[in-house]
Structure 1
Amino acid sequence: MPETQSDSGIRRFEACIGDTAFSPHRHDVYTLGLTMRGVQCFNYRGAARQSLPGELVVLHPDELHDGHAGTDDGFAYRALTIQPHSISAILPGQDLPFIAGGQSSSARLIQAVSAILADLDEALDPLHAADALFDIATALHAAAGHTPPSGHLDARATERARSYIHEHLDEQVSMDDLESVAGQDRWQLSRDFRRLHGTSPYRYLLMRRLDAARDRIQRGESFAQTALACGFNDQSHMTRHFKAAHGLSPFRWKRSITPDARMARTIIQD
């Protein structure tokens, strides 16, 4: 059962269950799990439930539940746990979101959970973990039928955070850093940043790093040098994000732009 935990308190793990059955038990955390294979069966709040591949299980803190395979083939799942106080910090003054029935078909929530469970072997960047926590908390809030909290937009604080990101593209950036430079609560900053820039602080940082990487690659810098210069852990780390953003590996992207670049030079010379 591989397991990882980030500094944000998000714990991620995966498991394959055959003839093992979980007896009734309860946790004091949120547990959100994606069924990957087979049929996952469990009893929750007085009713029998089952989850098929691609479906999301959402167990509220301190709710009694069990678990077993629905077929002889067993089942596999990936899951994460989050402390309730981490959710409350993002949703101040709001009740903890409760998902009736222990399952959700919310596309927004499934996407938020899937994104952080996609690669359990890669350690979570601190800013990525904070973004994921915010996305899951707000998606849970919406899936529970609540309206998002609103408030005054602090554009100046957001701009201070954005400028800091641009000045530190090759360094690790955390929400502690952004909160400090912006002079604003981190979760309000997360809300304002999304409202003003259309994306999260982590995604904004990642895309600016990829912009810088494209410029360096186009100038002929090696992929390995580019990765380190642009704040990625290594070349493979950069390649995964590059392909996710552009649909091509850096190598294939470089090959695809070379003929166009030559043609452009020819046209200018003519």
Structure 2
Amino acid sequence: MTGCSLRSRVRRLSVFEGAEAVEAYFCGHRFSPHRHDTYTLGYTICGVQRFRYRGAERFSRPGDVFVLHPDELHDGWPGTDEGYGYRAIYLNPGLVSDALGGAPLPFLAEAVSRQPSLRTAITEAICDPAETQDSLAPVAAVAALADTLATLEGKRRSASRQIDAIKMTRIRDHLEATAVSSVGVSSLEREYGIDRYSLSRQFRACFGVSPWRFVILRRLDEAKRQILAGASLADAASISGFVDQSHMTRQFRQAFGLTPGEWRRLLT
């Protein structure tokens, strides 16, 4: 090793209320032992991340995910001269408890693993900055993180298996009819008499996607119709309920693997 190939830096990422998220790179920096009052959920991007946690030395490499529990002492330093980078979300444990219906917080004995479901949940929790705090997106993110932690711990929530299919169908029809307008989760809770996490969990069980993802896909359906009818990309985004064209483009790429402009050119 001849020295660090990275520049130490920290970039804050967009995330929902009750959490913080960062993308960080460190070279030569050593964290002294410290504690958070949050869950720390992340994955290593590059290099080797080395730390002591619960009396043992740990190593996290690219492709690994790590989970540090609230109030657990840990430190951190580069595992090689090359430095390391990671993405992490710091999640208020109260949100996890709420999402699990007040159940005890899940605990994972293994701090470092290669659980794809956990990496997916962490990645999807980092919000599109266009999403508001009362949208369905943060609810889906917290529910997915909490469910993944509970599943990996090995605990099941019997109450979550109770599905009100009739109510879910009514909510689906409501979301489909109002997808291009702003859909507030608080109003859905009031109208249908169900808490936001039960709504998100039951909806996914019935229809395979979260309510937020369902709304986004219906907006994309409308955007495609508008583009096919000759609307500009900016007008298609506005008519379909997206904040702006860039918001539509991000979601379009995530859903279809190409931008709206690329899709339009392929059809001509």
The TM-score, its normalising length taken from structure 2, stands at 0.89
Q: Indicate which of 255, 259, 266 corresponds to 1:245.
A: 255
TM-superposed deviation, 1:201: 0.5
- Is the Cα–Cα contact under 8 Å of residues 157 and 183 in structure 1 kept in the other structure? no
For the residues of structure 2 that align with 1:124 and 1:138, how far apart are their CA atoms?
Answer: 22
TM-superposed deviation, 1:170: 2.6
TM-superposed deviation, 1:148: 4.0
| Distance verdict in 2 for CA 1:160–1:180, change over 3 Å | farther
- Is the Cα–Cα contact under 8 Å of residues 35 and 78 in structure 1 kept in the other structure? yes
| Distance verdict in 2 for CA 1:164–1:10, change over 3 Å | farther
Structure 2 portions without partners, runs of 5+? 1-9
Letter of the 2:69 partner, please give it.
Answer: H
TM-superposed deviation, 1:229: 1.1
1:170 paired with 2:180, answer yes
| Distance verdict in 2 for CA 1:124–1:48, change over 3 Å | farther
TM-superposed deviation, 1:100: 0.9
TM-superposed deviation, 1:93: 4.7
CA deviation map 1:246-267 (0-9, x unaligned): 2222122223234xxxxxxxxx
For the residues of structure 2 that align with 1:203 and 1:121, how far apart are their CA atoms?
Answer: 12
| Distance verdict in 2 for CA 1:64–1:84, change over 3 Å | same
TM-superposed deviation, 1:205: 0.4
Aligned length: 256
1:68 paired with 2:77, answer yes
1:116 paired with 2:125, answer yes
1:154 paired with 2:161, answer no
- Is the Cα–Cα contact under 8 Å of residues 13 and 23 in structure 2 kept in the other structure? no
1:255 alignment counterpart: 265
Letter of the 1:101 partner, please give it.
Answer: E
For the residues of structure 2 that align with 1:187 and 1:121, how far apart are their CA atoms?
Answer: 20
1:49 alignment counterpart: 58
1:131 paired with 2:137, answer no
- Is the Cα–Cα contact under 8 Å of residues 238 and 245 in structure 2 kept in the other structure? yes
- Is the Cα–Cα contact under 8 Å of residues 44 and 84 in structure 2 kept in the other structure? yes
1:143 alignment counterpart: 152
1:32 paired with 2:30, answer no
Q: Secondary structure at the match of 2:110?
A: helix
**Aligned residues with identical type, % of pairs:** 43
CA deviation map 1:38-76 (0-9, x unaligned): 110000111000101121110011111100011112111
For the residues of structure 2 that align with 1:39 and 1:142, how far apart are their CA atoms?
Answer: 27
CA deviation map 1:228-260 (0-9, x unaligned): 1111121122112112212222122223234xx
1:21 paired with 2:33, answer no
1:265 alignment counterpart: none
| Distance verdict in 2 for CA 1:138–1:207, change over 3 Å | same
Letter of the 1:159 partner, please give it.
Answer: T
CA deviation map 1:60-98 (0-9, x unaligned): 111111000111121111110111111011112532111
CA deviation map 1:161-186 (0-9, x unaligned): 22332233233323212212222111
- Is the Cα–Cα contact under 8 Å of residues 164 and 181 in structure 1 kept in the other structure? no
* Bigger Cα Rg: 1
For the residues of structure 2 that align with 1:146 and 1:88, how far apart are their CA atoms?
Answer: 14
For the residues of structure 2 that align with 1:64 and 1:101, how far apart are their CA atoms?
Answer: 15
1:185 alignment counterpart: 195
